[in-house]
């Protein structure tokens, strides 16, 4: 209070289109660096191929992820920028009008594989690969002008089977996949199961627009038809939100400001036609579409938009994908919530409830504020790391990031290279699996503060320069993630914070890294002596002084008081051999599954004659090496179980796994009951999925768009007769059970099934 912020020449973070302040032009000169390139062969040497043909295995915390908007990267095939049946005015290509197609494609990504490999990137996330709406999208402005938009971003599904024509055909997709995989780079696709395209135009008095879903031709057996190159044949209308005869869409209109759970899950997001995930044919279609892309060898899915999805459906979709040949793949989703928000707890627990991890929006908010406009302090950053460590069950699986395509580009907020570089160093070392938004490494300049203005075309408005400092930092620290398991799997211990400085330690057994950062570009600050797990000795800066780091002496378990100059970042590393005798678990994929599923256990000391146990039940080991075990989930007692690995009398640390009691399907519970203000309806029963009769661990609160009628889709094992009761829980957590005998219901018998219970009334 009263004190002038020390460094404030930055711009405001605009999460949702708040106008920004004018641009600053006093950038530091981007200097070259002398970091030696990483050899792509070395990168892939410790990766084990998963059993599916063509897939490389899930992303792990040892990987750095790189997000690309396919249309905005590189135009490798100019012959697919126009089509006979396409309005050519919708192609821009110059990087000027970012509402139009620019021409980036899969051939362009293929052409740039060395750019990723040399940067140390372990996985790329690309735009949704299937056909999108191709017609122009018109938004009328208040001043009478019209903006013309396109579906260049892939968020307007039209038909899940043919490829997005502007990105390439199936052979271009497969060439890209193979080229990435041959260079040790995994492939994650955006996958939108929440909606199709816009059904009504809010700028034209809700005129009916599109939202239609199509499917390929079918053969006489009812199977979709593909040509010999794997391209889907035909494009036939399957469902239309403006004439929804089979109930494919929720049809509840746009969410607007409705902040109820029903509003979030059942209403449209920006009028994008919202699928009814409670309708079996819809579930079936989306399962098959996702499985189709898995069969194309993708290594993971970024799910759009989990905040708006029925979590019972999301859980069954994830299970349907992972239970197909090829084993578990990476799943993370967009649950766009940051603190403070009443939905924060729902955000933090979403991975535990569905097996789909989060893009870490809470991390992103803090990092952008701390390193961008300095509206939060380094102490706040440390507190966020501590809080989320407590709140997230699988902290390392959450995808940490600074910015993305839906927020203001970080460069707009932070034009000064010193805090900008410090932010990159923090992203790659603080915790989680880091994701770099394309162009971060080239300091690309957005056109403005709006998210779309940051979706620049790298080919015309960026560069593919392998010598920038930012590129070198990502390269160096990505190598460190592979080598040092403290960075990948370790806990984060905060050693010291102030408004501008943070010192933290990452530690996985004897792999230890200490990172010391000063975000102030022009002011030095002294750091008091702090204790560390680094053994006594002298450590040089892992970044070789790129960000002014120095060497440090450690004696008697402490780092002596030292001074950080403006923008200084130190990375002090100890990576001793952990030997091969003692098994240690760093990570597990998936974190949720059922008997018979494949599970990957990552860590060290995992080679040789190991025993894997889920609780006290032994799992079959299919293959193993020092770094990784591939096992089959045993038929153990379901619920939250601890995985351990033992060998030669040594037992590893435990890792929590959510063991489902069967193939998850949906049951939609209904009850007609009056409640007092503050009370919500829940269901509990004799399945772990229903909390084993512990109401607090049973279902989430029911929805009541038509009070006093309440409903909730809940995931339970298929083909199972179970007992249950409804309970009321008030806002102080007091539980009121209904009376009478236990109710029973039998879940659907098919994987894609959804059944409604009758409309019950409360038993007194």
Residues labelled as active-site residues: 304, 334
Of 305 and 527, the one with the shorter C-beta distance to ligand NOJ is 305
Q: Does 413 bind ligand NOJ (CB under 6 A)?
A: no
In the complex with ligand NOJ, the residue whose CB is nearer, 406 or 697, is 406
- Residue 435 binds ligand NOJ, judged by CB under 6 A: no
Beta bridge partners of residue 558, listed in sequence order: 531, 555
Given 305, 312, 413, 633, the residue binding ligand NOJ (CB under 6 A): 305
CB of 54 closer than 8 Å to CB of 176: no
Sorted by sequence, the CB contacts under 8 Å of residue 456 that are 6+ apart come out as: 72, 95, 98, 409, 439, 444, 445, 446, 447, 462
Position among 192, 289, 298, 494 found at the interface with ligand NOJ (CB under 6 A): 192
Using alpha carbons, list the distances in angstroms from residue 253 to 145, 269, 688, 760. Answer: 26, 9, 35, 28
Minimum gap (Å) between residue 201 Cβ and ligand NOJ = 16
Note whether 214 and 238 are within 8 A (CB): yes
Q: Does 269 bind ligand NOJ (CB under 6 A)?
A: yes
What residue has token string 């009758």? 758
Q: Is residue 275 a contact point for ligand NOJ (CB under 6 A)?
A: no
Tell whether residue 737 is a contact of ligand NOJ (CB under 6 A): yes
Question: Beta-strand (E) ranges in 556-663?
Answer: 558-559, 562-564, 569-574, 584-589, 592-593, 598-604, 611-614, 617-624, 628-632, 639-647, 650-651, 655-659
- Name residue, tokens 């009028």: 271
* Beta strand 123-126 pairing with 65-67: parallel
User: What's the CA angle centered on 436, arms 75 and 450, to 5 degrees?
Assistant: 75
693 binds ligand NOJ (CB under 6 A): yes
> Contacting ligand NOJ (CB under 6 A), which of 71, 274, 322, 334?
334
Closest distance to ligand NOJ from the beta carbon of 643 (Å)? 29
Find the shortest distance in angstroms from Cβ 9 to ligand NOJ.
Answer: 30
**Nearest residue (CB) to ligand NOJ, 201 versus 632:** 201
**Dist. CA 208–CA 200, nearest whole Å:** 4
- Alpha-carbon distance of 618 to 603, in angstroms, equals 19
Q: Which is nearer to ligand NOJ, 421 or 725 (CB)?
A: 725
Q: Which of 236, 551, 742, 750 binds ligand NOJ (CB under 6 A)?
A: 742
Dist. CA 371–CA 395, nearest whole Å: 21
Measured at the CA of 697, the angle between CA 696 and CA 701, to 5 degrees, comes to 65
Nearest approach in angstroms of CB 286 to ligand NOJ is 15
What is the number of residues in the chain? 764
- The minimum distance between CB 337 and ligand NOJ, in angstroms, equals 13
| Cβ 316 to ligand NOJ shortest distance, Å | 21
Question: How many residues of this chain interact with ligand NOJ, rule: CB under 6 A?
Answer: 13
State the Cα–Cα distance between residues 474 and 651, nearest whole angstrom. Answer: 35
CB of 189 to ligand NOJ, least distance (A): 13
Q: Least distance (Å) from ligand NOJ to the CB of residue 433?
A: 18
Q: Which residue is nearest to ligand NOJ (CB)?
A: 155
Token look-up 């927020």 returns 407
Parallel/antiparallel/unpaired status of strands 735-737 and 721-729: antiparallel
Nearest Cα residue to 65 out of 490, 357, 407, 370 = 357
Binding track, positions 636-675, relative to ligand NOJ; x by CB under 6 A: ----------------------------------------
In the chain, DSSP finds a helix count (H) and a strand count (E) of: 15, 45
Residue 181 binds to ligand NOJ (criterion: CB under 6 A): no
Kindly tell me which of 121 and 192 has the beta carbon lying closer to ligand NOJ: 192
CA distance 390 to 381: 14
Q: What's the min distance (Å) between Cβ of 686 and ligand NOJ?
A: 7
Quick check: 406 binds ligand NOJ (CB under 6 A)? yes
| Residues 82, 88, 89, 90, CA torsion sign | negative
Residue located via tokens 């735009």: 127
- Pairing label, strands 537-539, 491-497: unpaired
Residue 678 and residue 207: Cα distance in Å, rounded?
39
Nearer to ligand NOJ, 334 or 541 (CB): 334
- Quick one: 398 or 598, whose CB is closer to ligand NOJ? 398
Among the listed residues 725, 729, 747, 753, the single contact to ligand NOJ using CB under 6 A: 725
> In the complex with ligand NOJ, which residue's Cβ is closer, 491 or 734?
734
Considering just the CA atoms, what is the radius of gyration of the chain in Å? 26
How near is the Cβ of 249 to ligand NOJ at its closest, in Å? 15
Q: Tokens in use for 49?
A: 């191929």
Q: Rounded to an integer, what distance in angstroms lies between the CA atom of residue 228 and that of residue 325?
A: 22
Choose between 306 and 492: whose C-beta lies nearer to ligand NOJ. Answer: 306
Which helix or strand (DSSP H or E) is residue 345 part of?
A: helix 344-354
Nearest to 274 by CA among 203, 213, 319, 361: 213
Closest CB 382 distance from ligand NOJ, rounded Å = 29
269 or 621: CB nearest ligand NOJ:
269
- Spell 64-98 as b/e; 16+ CB within 10 A means b: bbbbbbbbbbbbbbeebbeeeeeeeebbbbebebb
304 binds ligand NOJ (CB under 6 A): yes
Given the complex with ligand NOJ, which of 155 and 161 has the nearer CB atom?
Answer: 155
Tell me how far apart the alpha carbons of residues 313 and 613 are, in angstroms, rounded to a whole number.
29
User: What CA–CA distance (Å, rounded) separates 614 from 588?
Assistant: 12
Half-sphere exposure of 449 (CA within 13 A, CB side): 17
- We find the least distance from the C-beta atom of residue 488 to ligand NOJ, in angstroms, to be 27
Single out the residue of 198, 405, 431, 647 in contact with ligand NOJ (rule: CB under 6 A).
405
Residue with smaller CB distance to ligand NOJ, 235 or 406: 406
Q: Are 646 and 732 in contact (CB under 8 A)?
A: no
Shortest CA distance to 455 belongs to which of 33, 101, 90? 101
CA distance 312 to 662: 14
What number of CA atoms fall less than 13 Å from residue 111's CA on the CB side?
13
734 binds ligand NOJ (CB under 6 A): no
Between 108 and 454, CB nearer to ligand NOJ: 454
Between residue 141 and residue 170, which ones bind ligand NOJ under the rule CB under 6 A?
155
Write out the residues near ligand NOJ by the rule CB under 6 A: 155, 192, 269, 272, 304-305, 334, 405-406, 693, 725, 737, 742
């Amino acid at each position: 209070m009263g004190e002038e912020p020390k460094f404030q020449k930055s711009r405001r973070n605009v999460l949702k289109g708040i106008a920004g302040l004018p641009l600053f032009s006093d950038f530091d000169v981007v200097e070259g660096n002398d970091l030696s390139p990483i050899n792509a062969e070395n990168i892939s040497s410790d990766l084990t191929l998963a059993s599916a043909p063509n897939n490389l295995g899930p992303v792990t915390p040892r990987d750095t992820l790189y997000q690309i908007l396919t249309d905005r990267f590189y135009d490798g095939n100019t012959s697919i920028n126009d089509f006979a049946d396409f309005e050519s005015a919708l192609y821009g290509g110059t990087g000027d009008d970012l509402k139009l197609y620019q021409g980036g494609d899969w051939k362009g990504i293929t052409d740039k594989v060395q750019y990723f490999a040399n940067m140390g990137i372990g996985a790329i996330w690309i735009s949704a690969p299937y056909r999108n709406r191709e017609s122009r999208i018109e938004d009328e402005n208040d001043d009478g002008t019209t903006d013309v938009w396109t579906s260049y971003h892939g968020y307007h599904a039209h038909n899940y089977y043919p490829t997005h024509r502007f990105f390439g055909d199936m052979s271009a997709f497969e060439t890209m996949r193979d080229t990435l995989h041959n260079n040790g780079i995994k492939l994650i696709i955006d996958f939108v199961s929440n909606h199709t395209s816009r059904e009504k135009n809010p700028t034209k008095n809700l005129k009916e627009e599109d939202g239609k879903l199509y499917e390929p031709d079918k053969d006489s057996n009812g199977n979709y038809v593909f040509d010999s190159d794997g391209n889907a044949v035909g494009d036939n209308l399957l469902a239309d939100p403006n004439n929804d005869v089979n109930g494919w869409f929720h049809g509840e209109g746009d969410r607007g400001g409705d902040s109820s759970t029903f509003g979030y899950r059942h209403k449209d997001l920006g009028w994008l036609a919202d699928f009814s995930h409670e309708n079996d044919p819809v579930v079936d279609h989306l399962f098959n579409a996702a499985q189709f892309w898995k069969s194309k060898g993708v290594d993971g899915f970024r799910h759009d938009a989990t905040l708006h999805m029925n979590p019972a459906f999301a859980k069954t979709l994830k299970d349907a994908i992972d239970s197909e040949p090829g084993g578990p793949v990476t799943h993370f989703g967009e649950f766009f919530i940051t603190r403070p928000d009443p939905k924060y707890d729902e955000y933090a627990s979403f991975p535990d409830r569905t097996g789909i991890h989060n893009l870490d929006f809470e991390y992103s908010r803090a990092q952008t504020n701390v390193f961008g406009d300095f509206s939060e302090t380094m102490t706040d950053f440390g507190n966020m790391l501590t809080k989320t460590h407590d709140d997230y069950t699988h902290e390392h699986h959450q995808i940490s990031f600074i910015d993305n395509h839906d927020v203001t580009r970080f460069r707009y907020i932070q034009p000064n290279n010193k805090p900008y570089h410090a932010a990159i160093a923090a992203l790659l070392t603080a915790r989680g699996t880091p994701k770099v938004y394309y162009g971060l490494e080239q300091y690309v300049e957005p056109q403005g503060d709006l998210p779309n203005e940051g979706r620049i075309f790298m080919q015309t408005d960026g560069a593919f320069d392998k010598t920038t400092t930012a590129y070198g930092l990502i390269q160096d620290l990505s190598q460190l993630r592979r080598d040092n398991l403290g960075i990948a799997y370790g806990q984060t211990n905060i050693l010291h914070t102030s408004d501008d400085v943070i010192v933290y330690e990452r530690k996985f057994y004897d792999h230890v890294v200490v990172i010391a950062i000063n975000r102030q570009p022009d002011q030095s600050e002294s750091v008091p002596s702090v204790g560390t797990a680094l053994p006594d000795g002298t450590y040089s800066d892992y970044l070789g002084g790129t960000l002014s780091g120095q060497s440090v002496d450690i004696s008697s378990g402490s780092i002596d008081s030292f001074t950080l100059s403006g923008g200084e970042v130190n990375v002090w590393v100890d990576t001793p051999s952990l030997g091969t005798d003692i098994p240690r678990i760093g990570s597990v994929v998936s974190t949720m599954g059922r008997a018979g599923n494949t599970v990957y256990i990552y860590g060290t000391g995992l080679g040789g004659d190991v025993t894997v146990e889920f609780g006290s039940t032994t799992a079959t080991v299919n293959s193993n090496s020092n770094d990784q075990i591939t096992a089959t989930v045993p038929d153990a007692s379901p619920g939250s179980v601890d995985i351990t690995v033992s060998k030669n009398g040594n037992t590893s640390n435990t890792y929590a796994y959510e063991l489902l009691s069967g193939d998850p399907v949906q049951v939609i519970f209904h009850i007609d009951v009056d409640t007092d203000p503050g009370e919500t309806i829940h269901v509990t029963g004799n399945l772990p999925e229903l909390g084993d009769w512990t109401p607090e661990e049973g279902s989430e609160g029911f929805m009541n768009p038509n009070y006093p009628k309440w409903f909730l889709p809940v995931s339970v094992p298929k083909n199972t007769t179970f007992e249950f009761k409804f309970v009321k829980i008030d806002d102080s957590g007091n539980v009121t059970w209904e009376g009478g005998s236990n109710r029973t219901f039998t879940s659907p018998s098919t994987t894609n099934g959804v059944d409604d219970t009758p409309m019950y009334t409360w038993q007194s």
